[in-house]
Amino acid sequence: MVEENVALTRRWFKEVWNEKKTETIRESVTPDCVGHGTSETGGDLHGPDDWLELHARLVSAFPDMQIEIQDIFGVGDKVVVRWIGTMHHLGNGLGMEPSGAEVKISGMGIARFVNGKVAETWDSWDKLAMFQQIDAALKAKKATA
d(CA 99, CA 90): 7
Domain ranges of the chain: 2-144
* Exposed/middle/buried for residue 78 (C-beta within 10 Å: 0-12, 13-18, 19+): middle
Say yes or no to pLDDT of 141 above 80: no
Cβ atoms within 10 A of the Cβ of 132, count? 13
Per-residue pLDDT tens for 82-102? 999 999 999 998 888 899 999
Per-residue pLDDT tens for 114-133? 999 999 999 999 888 898 98
Q: Does domain 2-144 have CATH number 3.40.50.720?
A: no
> What pTM was computed for the model?
0.89
17, 67 in Cβ contact below 8 A?
yes
Which whole number is the average pLDDT over 60-69? 97
129, 105 in Cβ contact below 8 A?
yes
